[in-house]
Amino acid sequence: MSPTRLSPLALKPRLASADFQQALGTRPVARSAHFTVHFAIPSLVRPGKLSTGPAPEQVEPVDEVRTHHRVWRLGLVIPKKMARRSVTRSLIKHQARELFRLHAPALEQAGWLSDQRPVCNWVLRLKAPWPKQDWPSAASEPLKQAVRAEILAVLAHCLKGERA
């Protein structure tokens, strides 16, 4: 598979809890009215379950996108409190995965991945609700375009290399 043509199924929100905590504990790299984007370089060494147990294990990234020899993963935090309808949450997730997949090579060229940072985690968090009264249909085309525009805006901010 070529680096610019990535599988649409390659991005799934399956980061481990520790990966989410690490990424969400960092300062956001981009913000919009509804979204924040966090970036973290993960530790691929996980401690053993017990302090007396075996040595730490080396884990391989799950649900990853590979661009050349580099790997990045996407986690999504879309709480029910912010998007009440499951159709809306699904729409947001589909748009986020697709846009991050399409912009993976550009993010790599912008310096988010390098030989020194060959693996990274991105977390997109919905921080403000999408008002139900503004979008009568949970999966309407105007809502899809609004979500897409905001995610593109935060990605554009990341591509500039600026921090929020």
User: pLDDT per residue over 84-126, tens digit each?
Assistant: 889 999 999 999 999 998 988 888 888 887 777 667 888 999 9
Lowest mean pLDDT among 10-14, 65-69, 152-156: 10-14
Lowest mean pLDDT among 25-34, 54-63, 83-92, 99-108: 54-63
Residue 70 has pLDDT above 70, yes or no: no
- Kindly report the pTM of this predicted structure: 0.73
The topology under which CATH files domain 17-159 is Ribosomal Protein S5; domain 2 (3.30.230)
For the chain, the 3-state helix, strand and coil shares in percent, each to the nearest 5, are 30, 20, 50
Residue boundaries of the structural domains of the chain = 17-159
From residue 8, give the alpha-carbon distance in Å to each of 38, 99, 101, 137: 22, 10, 7, 25
What's residue 31's pLDDT? 93
Among candidates 34, 39, 6, 5, which has minimal Cα distance to 92?
34
List, in sequence order, every residue forming a beta bridge with 58; answer none if it has no partner: 45
Lowest mean pLDDT among 11-15, 41-45, 149-153: 11-15
Q: Are 76 and 90 in contact (CB under 8 A)?
A: no
The gap from C-alpha 146 to its chain's centroid, in whole angstroms, comes to 18
| Structure confidence at residue 72 as a pLDDT band (50, 70, 90) | confident
Residue 127 has pLDDT above 90, yes or no: yes
d(CA 96, CA 110): 19
